[in-house]
Amino acid sequence: MNTWINKPTRALEEFLQTEYQNLLGNGPFSEGNGFEKLGTYKEIIEEHSHCAGCGVALGIRLAMAALPSPKDTFIVGTPGCSFFSLSQAAVNYSNTAFGNQNAVASGLKRMLSIRHPGEAKDVVVLVGDGGIADIGLDMTLHSWFRGEKITTIMVDNELYGNTGGQESGMSPQGRIMNMAPTGKKFPKIPIYDMAKQSGCCYTAKVAVSNPKALADSVRKAIILAREIGPTYVQIYTPCPTNLKVPSHQTLKMAREAEKGYYGFEEFLSSEGEKFLDAMR
């Protein structure tokens, strides 16, 4: 995206909404307006319909603020709560049929590298746990096996939030949900370990209560995907609505998980390490 294309002519400028003016004047595309400066510029996302205290919304907001080059980023989504804020963001975005995100992203990335050779165009899949671990599992794994240069980010709320609280492959064993009244019968699917086994050159597991590590992993994942191969970031984003927890306790829940099974973890392949060293 060329930001000058979106710049209105002077004569029309005053008729535009202030949000749009701010986006162009002091927005995410201006030099230096990144994650560290959050709160001092107009963010890439506009008002959305996520519930109050939504972990997914916070995860997406932080990940979007950490994009290394938002104007050259293409977000690929799929049904799930994540699209409430993704569709409200000033970034190239496409939804897909549920589960097809990594197949669509692979094609998009290949097309972009033919159309814009030598330019960094980041294709980022940003979807829920059901989208990756359940319906989209085969397409996700195959994109990793094929070594597609895309970043996959999971916002893991451990259930199907969008459809009212069914169990997902990522729900922990025993978890009782609206539509899983006797509790889930098997443990969380180990997607994080599968990513390492399936060809991802960088993987990270982080909770939304750790914003610095979250931003750091998203940045690394996207930059490594430009040159080396597929990368995966799994963000724990608890859902207060479906877990029936007060909305101000989302981060408390995330911190508790951080002490247990959702502690910060990172993996970098030797090739990835060489690349990052050369950049430094």
Partner 1 sequence: MYAAVRINEIICIGCKKCIYACPDPNVLSFDEETRKVSADESRCKGCGLCVSECPKDAMSIY
Q: Which of 24, 29, 33, 62 binds partner 1 (CB under 8 A)?
A: 62
The first and second tokens of residue 82, run together, are 């994540």
Q: Evaluate whether 151 touches 233 at the Cβ level (below 8 Å).
A: yes
Q: Tokens 């029309």 sit at which residue? A: 12
**Nearest 10 degrees: Cα torsion 193, 199, 204, 205:** -30
Grouping H, G, I as helix, E, B as strand and the rest as coil, residue 107 is helix
Span of 10-18, 110-118, 225-233, 243-251 interacting with partner 1 by CB under 8 A:
243-251
Q: Tokens 């409430």 sit at which residue? A: 84
Which among 272, 216, 219 has a CA at the least distance from the CA of 70? 219
Span of 53-61, 144-152, 176-184, 260-268 interacting with partner 1 by CB under 8 A:
53-61
Q: Is 162 in the site for partner 1 (CB under 8 A)?
A: no
Interface mask toward partner 1 for 87-116; x: CB under 8 A = ------------------------------
Interface mask toward Mg ion for 153-192; x: CB under 5 A = ----x---x-------------------------------
Q: Is 134 in the site for Mg ion (CB under 5 A)?
A: no
Q: Which of 199, 216, 252, 266 binds partner 1 (CB under 8 A)?
A: 252
Q: Is 93 in the site for ligand TPP (CB under 6 A)?
A: no
What are the backbone dihedrals phi and psi of residue 128, each rounded to the nearest 5 degrees, phi first? -80, 175
User: Which residues make beta-bridge pairs with 127?
Assistant: 154
Q: Is 53 in the site for partner 1 (CB under 8 A)?
A: yes
- Quick one: 36 or 261, whose CB is closer to ligand TPP? 261
Q: Evaluate whether 186 touches 173 at the Cβ level (below 8 Å).
A: yes
Burial of 52 (0-12, 13-18, 19+ CB in 10 A): exposed
Question: Would you tell me which residues interact with Mg ion (CB under 5 A)?
Answer: 128-130, 157, 161
Question: Would you tell me which residues interact with ligand TPP (CB under 6 A)?
Answer: 56, 79-82, 98, 128-131, 157, 159-163, 168
